[in-house]
Amino acid sequence: MRNKSILLLFLGLFIYVGVRAQQDPEFTQFMNNKMYYNPAYAGVEGITRLSLVVRSKWTGYTGTFNDGGAPTTEVLTMSAPIYKLNSGFGAYLINDNLGSLNNLALQGSYAYHVAVKDAKLSFGINAGFYSQSIDFDNYRPNDINDPVIQTGKQTQFRPDMGAGVFYQAKKLYGSISVSHLLNPSFNFGSDALRNSLEPTLYVMGGYHYDITYNLELTPSLLVQSDFNKYLINLGAMLTYNEKFWGGITYKYLESASLIVGMSLLKSNALQIGYGFDYIVHDQQAKQATSNEIRLSYALPINPFGSRKVVRTPRFRH
């Protein structure tokens, strides 16, 4: 009962905050993409998992000229336990296309796990690089003699890192992390073009309710903040027989979404999920829908230790 009260208080606190912030890519299936949001999640499942998420935002959008088209994002994540060190290793590679701007990041993660009664508390850190590329040829300047205007495609690389804490109990999970701790900055040779990635806070949580023997309800929350404004996601997922799931999410002042998915193969090793977004605010400035596909595969053998894997459906949807 105490855990339920904490979660409801958490939800109420951030619903009250009526502001938004966006800097990094957003994902409809955020509750199944924890490795991207928090390096402390590395190895928490106790299995080695590979996941791929492909997202098309505002599907079908076309500009009045060649501006790069609708935003698209792909993220590949990996998580594996290191049993002998009570820890885990993880990584993610993300490619985010925003018209003429492309963001590419590669991060490696390490997490140390501490047993807390029947739960697990994990502390993690990640480090790697973040790059931005701009295709200046896709822009149409009002003044072609403006010294800020450049030609061709230019790319800059910067180091980046983040840190986080993840708590996993039988029914409850909670996550808090901060990305872009090095505040990477890109200027492409001109201070007028300077763009810095502000440190971003992610707070995530969820609770598993057993409705019946075969049916489980999991409400979830994700709050993203640059310590100035907030972006809020609320979700609820039903899982049947540990194999099929479906639910809805709501992104504050943005969109409502439907999520469906299923598990296949032995021990539910392969997961397939689909998310559909429908814009409910400021639709006139965007295409009405976005689409997201997630594929995830749990390897049968753990390469970082010899301990026998005991599959736990709790962490597999």
List the domain boundaries for the chain: 25-198+265-315
Q: Specify the residue for token string 């149409």.
A: 140
Neighbouring CB atoms inside 10 A of 1's CB total 5
Query: What secondary structure letter does DSSP report for 179?
Result: E
Stretch 232-241: mean pLDDT? 96
Residue 14 pLDDT greater than 90, yes or no:
no
Take residue 175 and report the two structure tokens written for it.
């996550």
Grade residue 315 by pLDDT with cuts at 50, 70 and 90: very low
Grade residue 69 by pLDDT with cuts at 50, 70 and 90: confident
Average pLDDT, the chain: 85
- Predicted pLDDT of residue 244: 97
- Predicted pLDDT of residue 267: 87
pTM for the predicted model, two decimal places: 0.84
Q: Which residue has the higher pLDDT, 50 or 154?
A: 50
Grade residue 205 by pLDDT with cuts at 50, 70 and 90: very high
Residue 311 pLDDT greater than 60, yes or no:
no
Helix (H, G, I), strand (E, B) or coil at 23: coil
In percent, the amount of the chain with pLDDT more than 90 equals 60
Single out the residue of 60, 75, 64, 93 nearest to residue 277, CA to CA: 60
Residue 268 pLDDT greater than 50, yes or no:
yes
CB neighbour list of residue 200: distance below 8 Å, 6 or more residues apart? 23, 24, 178, 179, 180, 224, 225, 226
Give CB contacts under 8 A, 24+ apart, made by 33-36: 33/75, 33/77, 33/294, 34/166, 34/175, 34/204, 35/77, 35/78, 35/79, 35/90, 35/92, 35/109, 36/75, 36/77, 36/92, 36/94
Helix (H, G, I), strand (E, B) or coil at 101: strand
Neighbouring CB atoms inside 10 A of 52's CB total 14
Give the pLDDT confidence of 34-63 residue by residue, as tens digits: 999 999 999 999 999 999 999 998 877 666
- CA 39, CA 163: separation in Å to the nearest integer? 6
Single out the residue of 153, 175, 150, 152 nearest to residue 44, CA to CA: 175
Stretch 189-204: mean pLDDT? 86
- Predicted pLDDT of residue 20: 39
- CA 64, CA 57: separation in Å to the nearest integer? 18
Most confident of 180-189, 255-264, 294-303: 255-264
- Predicted pLDDT of residue 139: 73
Strand partners, 206: 173, 220
- Predicted pLDDT of residue 12: 38
Give the pLDDT confidence of 108-135 residue by residue, as tens digits: 999 999 999 889 999 999 999 999 998 8
